[in-house]
Amino acid sequence: MDHVTGLKCVVCGEEYDVGDVVYVCPKHGADGILDVQYDYAKIQGRVSPRSLSDSAQSAPRSIWRYTPLLPVDPLILAGLHDGRQPVHPLFSVGWTPLYRNPQLSERAGVAEVYVKNDGLMPSASLKDRASAVALLKALELEREIIAGASTGNAASSLATLSASLGIRSIIFVPAAAPQAKIAQLLVCGATVLAVDGTYDQAFDLCLAASTKYGWYNRNTAYNPYMTEGKKTAGYEICEQLGWQVPDRIFVGVGDGCIIGGLHKAFKDMLALGWTDRMPRLMGVQAAGSAALYSAWKQRIDPLDISPIEAHTIADSISAGLPRDRVKATRAVVETDGAFVSVSDEEILDAIPVLGRDAGVFAEPAGAAPYAGLKKAVSSGLVSPHERVVLLVTGNGLKDVASAIKSTGSPTVIEPTSEAVDKALDTLT
């Protein structure tokens, strides 16, 4: 891990040695999120776009193809591999497909629309990228218990990936999280504390209990390594486009850790000389959970944001006080991107559009990027010649109730051929 040089507080800029701090800046508490610093000269000698394409056959088709850019010890990863066959779903995290979709381009009125489908991960959401890194850190620190609070996906991801690794996961989720996400936790053997309250309350309870009982904590935007796992989606987008930088990337934003990770990926690649520009990052928030959008619009410092009561059908991007607000705001401002706010209705409308045009089944937060693109085009933010990527962060099977809300129920018929004929007459 000689390529990691320190951890830098996003509030005061103080840099700490990796061994000195586990989570946040001691001076700034939960606001003082730490950003992992790298020695780019060292990394340049270890990996490059050329080395990745030359080893196309042997480079892992997972996030681990970027191990030299991650804050993990490669020996720990190697210890989980038997040399012939992957021995754990950890090895299938990442390298999700990126599809160019002409139907969506035409519908949205932009030159090129790509869909990256992170719903195809082991636990069916982008969160696996972060949980994989969290678990390697827990192994490195020899911690047997890992805890996390989550709107649902980070938790189900942690539960899925910790299963069979000999690490127990303790999860705090809002009791109102979609059933499928809770089922994933239970099936994978997590200890589940379903909090009769909000995600923000679950987050605080998890932090307090982790400190009290000495568990390793995976909370988003508290554990500095989560955004590092999430940044791999940015590397993949760039590599899958032949190391071309898209004009914009649309992503759903709750706490802001994913968009912060995308920003980090493109900053890394710029620093390494792999790319020569940044994409504009477009953070899509649900109107009922749009603290970052509102602050950005009114030019309020993200550290001065007051908590709101968040309500949206897109449970994964429901956050009353976005924890990674500093990084998320910097991601948008420094790339000359924008936040976009979309209603629940617009999010629901986007679900069948992605399904019908692209064959991608997204949960509400995963469909929000398409709703955001539509809105950004209609408000003149995006020009027709642009190449945009929609990052679908979660699978629609996670929240079937919302999916059915977006389409309506199917036609039920009597089990007779007359009923088939009659139904076909009305359906076609």
Contacts with ligand PLP, residue ranges (CB under 6 A):
125, 127, 151, 153-154, 220, 252-258, 316-317, 363, 365-366, 393-394
The correct pick among 5, 16, 18, 28 for binding Zn ion (CB under 5 A) is 28
* Closest among 129, 5, 148, 126 to 67, alpha carbons compared: 129
Q: CB under 5 to 8 A by kind: which of ligand PLP, Zn ion, none does 178 bind?
A: none
CB nearer to ligand PLP: give 139 or 305: 305
Q: CB under 5 to 8 A by kind: which of Zn ion, ligand PLP, none does 252 bind?
A: ligand PLP
CB nearer to ligand PLP: give 70 or 392: 392
Burial of 121 (0-12, 13-18, 19+ CB in 10 A): buried
Q: Give the pairing of strands 98-100 and 112-117.
A: antiparallel
Residues 210-229 within binding reach of Zn ion (CB under 5 A): none
The correct pick among 7, 23, 32, 305 for binding Zn ion (CB under 5 A) is 32
Q: CB under 5 to 8 A by kind: which of ligand PLP, Zn ion, none does 254 bind?
A: ligand PLP
CB nearer to ligand PLP: give 60 or 254: 254
Q: Does 326 bind Zn ion (CB under 5 A)?
A: no
CB nearer to ligand PLP: give 3 or 374: 374
Query: Which span sits near Zn ion by CB under 5 A: 11-19, 139-147, 180-188, 252-260?
Result: 11-19
Report, in Å, the least distance between residue 147 CB and ligand PLP: 16
* Closest among 264, 325, 323 to 293, alpha carbons compared: 325
Q: Report the C-alpha gap between 386 and 92 in whole angstroms.
A: 32
Q: How many CA atoms lie within 13 A of 261 on its CB side?
A: 31
Query: Which span sits near Zn ion by CB under 5 A: 12-20, 145-153, 286-294, 382-390?
Result: 12-20
Q: CB under 5 to 8 A by kind: which of Zn ion, ligand PLP, none does 393 bind?
A: ligand PLP
Which residue has the CB atom at the shortest distance from ligand PLP?
394
Report, in Å, the least distance between residue 392 CB and ligand PLP: 8
CB nearer to ligand PLP: give 110 or 317: 317
* Closest among 15, 19, 28, 38 to 264, alpha carbons compared: 38
Report, in Å, the least distance between residue 199 CB and ligand PLP: 9
CB nearer to Zn ion: give 106 or 301: 301
Residues 59-88 within binding reach of Zn ion (CB under 5 A): none
Q: Report the C-alpha gap between 317 and 39 in whole angstroms.
A: 33
Q: Which tokens sit at 418? A: 């007359």
CB nearer to ligand PLP: give 128 or 357: 128
CB nearer to ligand PLP: give 71 or 260: 260
Report, in Å, the least distance between residue 315 CB and ligand PLP: 8
CB nearer to Zn ion: give 178 or 302: 302
Q: Does 303 bind Zn ion (CB under 5 A)?
A: no
Burial of 384 (0-12, 13-18, 19+ CB in 10 A): exposed
Q: Does 27 bind Zn ion (CB under 5 A)?
A: yes
What are the residues binding Zn ion (CB under 5 A)? 9, 11-12, 25, 27-28, 32
